[in-house]
Structure 1
């Protein structure tokens, strides 16, 4: 099989692969890395076990939240991306989770109604977190920083993914301003490696905000350059940008 056909086959498979929620199992063995040194699921699991009510912001397809079961009797998950919402409902409603559609900035949750807010790679609105947390309630969030995978955009000669800087310092300062006490801050730029061009195409389909105007046709020429780079070097390596923050609301309403 010549190089041209192989490129086209890999890309065609990636374009035809189904997308459902945040299930990235199609990429198994075709990418590696992107995870920071800490384990968000382990940290979240410890906090959930001590919680009586929780909110999971931008739950995706509910994959991570479901993995933390058994969940508190009062558990709410919100999702703002329409394709993910029915996936989250299908997975989480049987576990007793109240799944709510939330495409806007405001969370559809009552004031001071939960003692735990989780947000992994979701929106972080400090004022809304402060509003919904009970006194002494906790926040655990892992965020994707604005430096995330910028090498992809550069290699594709595509616009930047983020219009403004988003990092641990900015997020922690915003949470402090909203009245929360920041307990822990961590930030890393782990390697994220692609082993074939199909894996990159799938990633760009699954995470459409990385290159918002991405189509194979529009970016075929730089995709072929990246494909050649992988054939020569065995990989295309970029860097993720992750930061984690734990915070607590004031212990009284005063």
Structure 2
């Protein structure tokens, strides 16, 4: 069987399966991601079970929130990305979850705020949480897949530092108390250049000016590395924070 040329690999990735929400099943077999040592769903479930109200920020297509069911009667999800909002509403409707495109305007409304790989607007979270309420968030840090940007000669994925220390300071400044904090850099291994391209197309903020034409030479060079080594490994950047609003 003949090997495909780099430009054929690029075109195949460019026309790959579309993605809704945060599902990356298209990459199965082409890339292997390691999870952090903690399990965000396992931490979220017991918190949800003892709450009467939940807010899920940047819910994507609602995949994870649906997996965490049963949900409290007052559960609200926020998803502002137009590509994801219809999918979230369709998936979460059977659970009675209202999907908004903006943060609620009230105060002291929720016992639990969740945010997995989404925004962390600490002032709004402090406003929306009831006294004694809990925030649980798994964040993508500013060093996420930075080696991929370096390999392609692209700017860093985020212009500002975003890590556990920065978030702790912001939460404390908003009057919240951090009760659990963890930070890790699990590996992500690409076995095919198509997975690299699909990653960059579905997570466009990794390299904001990415296009096949602009990065043609760098992609060809990375293709050669992957074929010679069988893989190209970079590090993700994840941190978990749990905080409460003191009574």
TM-score by length of 1: 0.94
Superposed CA deviations along residues 219-241 of structure 1, whole A, max 9, x for unmatched, are 11111111111111110100000
For these two proteins, the number of residue pairs brought into alignment is 246
Cα distance in 1 for partners of 2:242, 2:73 equals 23
Q: Compared with structure 1, are the counterparts of its residues 34 and 110 closer, same or farther at alpha carbon in structure 2 (3 Å cutoff)?
A: farther
Moved over 3 A (4+): none
Superposed CA deviations along residues 89-123 of structure 1, whole A, max 9, x for unmatched, are 11112211010012xxxx22421101000000101
Cα distance in 2 for partners of 1:220, 1:2 equals 22
Check if 1:175 corresponds to 2:171. yes
In structure 1, the partner of 2:13 is 14
Cα distance in 1 for partners of 2:140, 2:223 equals 26
Check if 1:235 corresponds to 2:231. yes
Cα distance in 2 for partners of 1:227, 1:98 equals 44
Taking only aligned residues, the RMSD between alpha carbons, in angstroms, comes to 1.2
Superposed CA deviations along residues 20-62 of structure 1, whole A, max 9, x for unmatched, are 1111110112111242111111111121111110000000111
- Contact 1:149/1:241, CA 8 A, preserved across alignment: yes
- Structure 1: segments with no counterpart, 5+ residues: none
Query: How is 1:173-212 mapped onto 2 (pairs within 5 angstroms)?
Result: 173-212=169-208
State the secondary structure of the residue aligned to 2:204.
coil
Which sits farther off after the overlay, 137-146 or 212-221? Answer: 212-221
In structure 1, the partner of 2:214 is 218
In structure 1, the partner of 2:245 is 249
Check if 1:98 corresponds to 2:83. no
State the secondary structure of the residue aligned to 2:83.
helix
Cα distance in 1 for partners of 2:13, 2:45 equals 33
Query: How is 1:52-201 mapped onto 2 (pairs within 5 angstroms)?
Result: 52-102=52-102, 107-201=103-197
Check if 1:39 corresponds to 2:39. yes
In structure 1, the partner of 2:51 is 51
State the secondary structure of the residue aligned to 1:87.
helix
- Contact 1:34/1:239, CA 8 A, preserved across alignment: no
Which sits farther off after the overlay, 26-35 or 191-200? Answer: 26-35
Q: CA deviation at 1:9?
A: 3.1
Superposed CA deviations along residues 164-190 of structure 1, whole A, max 9, x for unmatched, are 100001101110110111100000011
Q: CA deviation at 1:7?
A: 2.5
Cα distance in 1 for partners of 2:7, 2:244 equals 51
Superposed CA deviations along residues 106-145 of structure 1, whole A, max 9, x for unmatched, are x224211010000001010111110000110000000000
TM-score by length of 2: 0.96
State the secondary structure of the residue aligned to 2:172.
helix
